[in-house]
Each structure stands twice: as structure tokens, then as C-alpha cells.
Amino acid sequence: MKATLIYGAGDVRVEHVPDPKLLEPTDAVVRVLRSCICGSDLWPYGSKATQDHGDRIGHEFLGVVEDIGTEVTGLKPGDVVVAPFVWADNTCDFCREGLQTSCRHGGQWGSTDVDGGQGEAVRVPQASGTLVKLPVGEDSALLPSLLSLSDVFPTGHHCAVTAGVTPRTTVTVIGDGAVGLSAVLAAKRLGAEQIILMGRHTDRTDLGRAFGATDVVAERGEEGVEKVRELTGGDGTHTVLECVGLKPAIETAFGVVRDGGTVSRVGAPQYPDVPADFGVFFRNITLTGGVAPARAYIEELLPDVLDGRIEPGKVFDRTVGLDDVPGGYRAMADRDALKVLIRP
Ligand SMILES: [Zn+2]
């Protein structure tokens, strides 16, 4: 089969690799219907050291079960399923606490012996715990929104949940990438009435408004902080959803959060230190967030996608075939595309 490999910064190739087959009785093999490129794939695409062998890449996919091991329950060949962005048994103590990203028997797509999601098929370890069956056909118009349950929408949702967004909290979302826009949609879904989106790409912030943002602040740094404070009677918002992962974004987050409020971060942090000094301490700010246990949220979010109450798949603004995945990476890195859908 064909799959995507990364050889180094700016060097993504689609090559022939061995067809996946069952290795463990708990495995399934899934033929990929839709995959996509994640903002976090752009970190290795931007900086990975060049190597002479490619590493498999891609961690968001949905597809059709082709084969199951003897210990797999609840799934059968032909089922349409979505995979969260890590695999997990969904039964260990961490999983039962809703922290499948810390599963004692879980792991990451594209690691040793495990396929990446940006390919024609994937061997899925711990298939019964990992895969969620979708009550749709292979040609459903909902596939983009269902694919978003793999990572981007649960990540925005996790940010809103850990920040404590409710109908009574005001919200600032930092970042107009696919995760930031998903966080807007998640905050709206949780009932927030004021959602300030900080972003400066009009085409993206327009989608943010469609998702529920009530205000858009294009200014950055101190100017941006001032603007958010103006919009909130000088105080800032109860919750801040930091969806970027760079130092200026976390600094802005502490600048726009209301005293006693919460900053949640889901952008993979590209900085070693958090500016949580005495001033932050004196204002009783809570810092939370982290990698999203997508698997914990899929069943809760699925009905809203199935009945069309939310359309998180609107973050996909370009579709490519597998052979055009390198161009998809370029388009996202150049900010020509917000999020690229792959149709193998
Ligand atoms: Zn587990």
C-alpha cells in the first residue's frame, strides 16, 4: 500500500510500504476513508533533522474495518470507525478516569510497527478500546465532521472543558488555526455567551464568527490584551483557551484572563517556561489543559455531529489525494490552507 513518510524538515514523501496485517489478537486492520494533516504535523515538517529513512506520519483517520483479531469485540469487518489520535485499551485505570492519552497499554500512530494515519490502511492495536463505530455509510456527507472527532474538535473541547467554560463564563480563544476555531465551537456548544477570538486572518476569523465568536481581536501583544480588556469592562475573561503553543500566546493568555480565572492550553507548547510569577500568583490564576484524551469525548460529541447541530468539519478547506499529501503540507505550512483533508 501507499503511505506518507517524513524524512526531515520540508521533506514528506508518499511511498510504497508493507500492507498492514494483524500482529496481535487485539488488532484490527482499517482501510482509510479519510485522513488529514494536523497543525502538530507542521512542527516536524518545520524542524525535523534530515534522516536517510522515512518515519510514518499522520494520527487522524476514519475508515472501514477490514479484518479483526480473535480477541476483538464489538467490531466486525465492514464497520465504519473513527480512531482517536492515540490508541488505548479503554479499560485500564487511566482510561477509566478518562485519560486515554496515559493508557498503560496505549501508544502513538506511526511508532514502531504501527502505521501512521496518512496512508491507505492502518493496523490498529487495542482495536476494541481504540475504535468508535460510526452509524454512517462509506459515502456519508458527514465524514469530514466525523473525522474531526479524531483530534481537532475534541482538542478544542478539552480546552473548553478543562478551562471550566459554562453559560456563566466569558471566554477568550487565542489562535485562529483549526484548534482555535474548534475551541470557539466547543465553547459555544457549552453555552458561553461572550467568546472573544484573537486572530488576524479574516477568512479564518469569519469561520470563527460562524462557529460562535461574538468578538474578534486582530491585534497582538499588549495591544491585543488592551482590546480584550476594553471588551470586558477592563477585567478580562473568566476563561482563556490558548490554542497556539508559542510563548507570546501564553503571555497574552495571562494578560487577558480575569482575576480568579483559568488559562487552559492545548497548543503543543514550544516553550520551556510558563510566566507564572508572583503577579500571576497574586491574581489567583489557574493554569490547566494538556493533551486531549479525544477517546474520552467521542461518544458525547458524536450525536451533535450526526444530527447536524455542529459542523466541526468546516475547518477543512482543502482536499487532496494521497499522492498530493506533500503539497498539502506545503499549503498548511504556507498558511494557504487552514486544514487539509486527505482522501486516499
Ligand atoms: Zn488504558
- Cα of 131 vs centre of ligand 1, distance in Å, is 13
Please compute the mean of the pLDDT values over residues 218-243 and round it to a whole number: 98
Q: Do domains 2-151+293-342 and 157-289 have the same CATH topology?
A: no
* Domain coordinates in residue numbering, the chain: 2-151+293-342, 157-289
Position 268 confidence tier, pLDDT thresholds 50, 70, 90: confident
Residue 275 pLDDT > 90, yes or no? no
- Cα of 102 vs centre of ligand 1, distance in Å, is 7
Please compute the mean of the pLDDT values over residues 95-99 and round it to a whole number: 98
Residue 224 pLDDT > 90, yes or no? yes
Which residues are registered as beta bridge partners of 28? Answer: 68, 124
- Cα of 54 vs centre of ligand 1, distance in Å, is 29
Residue 285 pLDDT > 90, yes or no? yes
The sign of the CA dihedral 153, 245, 118, 68 is: negative
pLDDT at position 119, please?
98
Position 183 confidence tier, pLDDT thresholds 50, 70, 90: very high
Q: Is the pTM of this model over 0.95?
A: yes
pLDDT at position 298, please?
98
- Cα of 183 vs centre of ligand 1, distance in Å, is 26
- Cα of 77 vs centre of ligand 1, distance in Å, is 24
- Cα of 128 vs centre of ligand 1, distance in Å, is 11
How much of the chain, in percent, has pLDDT values that exceed 70? Answer: 100
pLDDT at position 214, please?
98
- H or E element in which residue 5 lies: strand 2-8
What kind of architecture, by CATH, is found in domain 157-289? 3-Layer(aba) Sandwich (3.40)
pLDDT at position 267, please?
86
Q: DSSP secondary structure string, 155-204?
A: HHHHHHHHHT--TT--EEEE--SHHHHHHHHHHHHTT-S-EEEE---HHH
Q: Which CATH number fits domain 2-151+293-342: 3.65.10.10, 3.40.50.720, 3.90.180.10, 3.40.50.1010?
A: 3.90.180.10
Dump pLDDT digits (tens) for 39-89. Answer: 999 999 999 999 999 999 999 999 999 999 999 999 999 999 999 999 999
- Cα of 73 vs centre of ligand 1, distance in Å, is 16
CB contact at 8 A, 125 and 107? yes
pLDDT at position 305, please?
98
- Cα of 132 vs centre of ligand 1, distance in Å, is 15
Measured CA to CA, the distance from residue 151 to residue 229 in angstroms comes to 31
